[in-house]
Amino acid sequence: MSIWFKDYSEISLKDASTGIDKTLGIEYLELGVNFLTAKMPVNDHTKQPLGLLHGGASCVLAESVASFAAFLCINPEKKNVVGLNLNANHLKSVKDGFVFAKATPIHIGKSTSVWNVEITNENGDLISIVKFTAMHKDIIK
Residues annotated as catalytic (active site), given as ranges: 63
> Distance between alpha carbon 74 and the CA centroid of its chain, in Å?
16
Distance CA 126, CA 98 (A): 13
Distance CA 78, CA 71 (A): 11
Distance CA 13, CA 11 (A): 6
Distance CA 90, CA 13 (A): 27
Q: Which of 134, 140, 84 is nearest to 110 (CA)?
A: 134
